[in-house]
């Protein structure tokens, strides 16, 4: 009887651990950028992940966008992470838009922990990359 209870408790603990690890691997949520001036909501879109600006310390327009028609749009509400596809455990690859210079980069998003996300934007086929660490706010 005691052995059966121990086995049941072990199974419940294993399931709980599996569920918490699965949740840890999800980038869903609102993230504060490294500068602390922007929050981005990451959510599923079309079977992948996308990220939309939901808050800025100082709201701004997309003035650096190479498309003149978009230069007057508000950055809050604009998508800056596109088509991020799972590339392995806790890693997604896709496109990252940098509104500070108006350029879109091939990039990678990696969960470092449940509350830490690392984004890397690259040029020249990944030869040169720049990274930021974001913190989860909700």
CATH classification at residue 44: 2.40.128.520
Quick check: is 85 in a domain? yes
Quick check: is 5 in a domain? no
Quick check: is 7 in a domain? no
Quick check: is 62 in a domain? yes
CA–CA distance, 112 with 28 (Å, rounded to integer): 14
CA–CA distance, 36 with 38 (Å, rounded to integer): 6
CA–CA distance, 19 with 12 (Å, rounded to integer): 11
- Give the tens place of pLDDT for each residue, 38-55: 999 999 999 999 999 999
Instruction: Name the residue range of residue 130's domain.
Output: 26-136
CA–CA distance, 60 with 70 (Å, rounded to integer): 12
Tell me: pLDDT of 105 over 60: yes
Quick check: is 93 in a domain? yes
Tell me: pLDDT of 15 over 50: no
Quick check: is 9 in a domain? no
* Arithmetic mean of pLDDT, 109-135: 92
Partners of 111 in beta bridges:
117
pLDDT at 72: 97
- Give the tens place of pLDDT for each residue, 43-91: 999 999 999 999 999 999 999 999 999 999 999 999 999 999 999 899 9
What global pTM score does this model have?
0.79
pLDDT at 114: 94
Say which residues have a Cβ less than 8 Å from residue 52's Cβ, sequence separation at least 6.
40, 41, 43, 77, 78, 79, 80, 81
* Element at 12 (helix H, strand E): helix 2-24
Quick check: is 77 in a domain? yes
Q: How many domains does the chain have?
A: 1
Percent of the chain topping pLDDT 90: 73
Quick check: is 47 in a domain? yes
């Amino acid at each position: 009887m005691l052995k059966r209870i121990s086995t049941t408790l072990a199974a419940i603990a294993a399931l709980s651990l599996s569920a918490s690890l699965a949740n840890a691997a999800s980038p869903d949520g609102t993230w504060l950028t490294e500068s602390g001036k922007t929050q981005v909501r990451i959510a599923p879109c079309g079977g992948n992940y996308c990220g939309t600006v939901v808050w800025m310390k100082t709201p701004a327009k997309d003035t650096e966008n190479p498309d003149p028609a978009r230069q007057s749009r508000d950055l809050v509400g604009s998508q800056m992470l596109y088509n991020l596809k799972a590339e392995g455990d806790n890693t997604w690859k896709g496109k990252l838009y940098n509104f500070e210079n108006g350029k879109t980069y091939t990039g990678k998003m990696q969960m470092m922990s449940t509350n830490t996300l690392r984004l890397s934007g690259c040029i020249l086929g990944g030869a040169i990359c720049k990274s930021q660490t974001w913190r989860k706010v909700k």
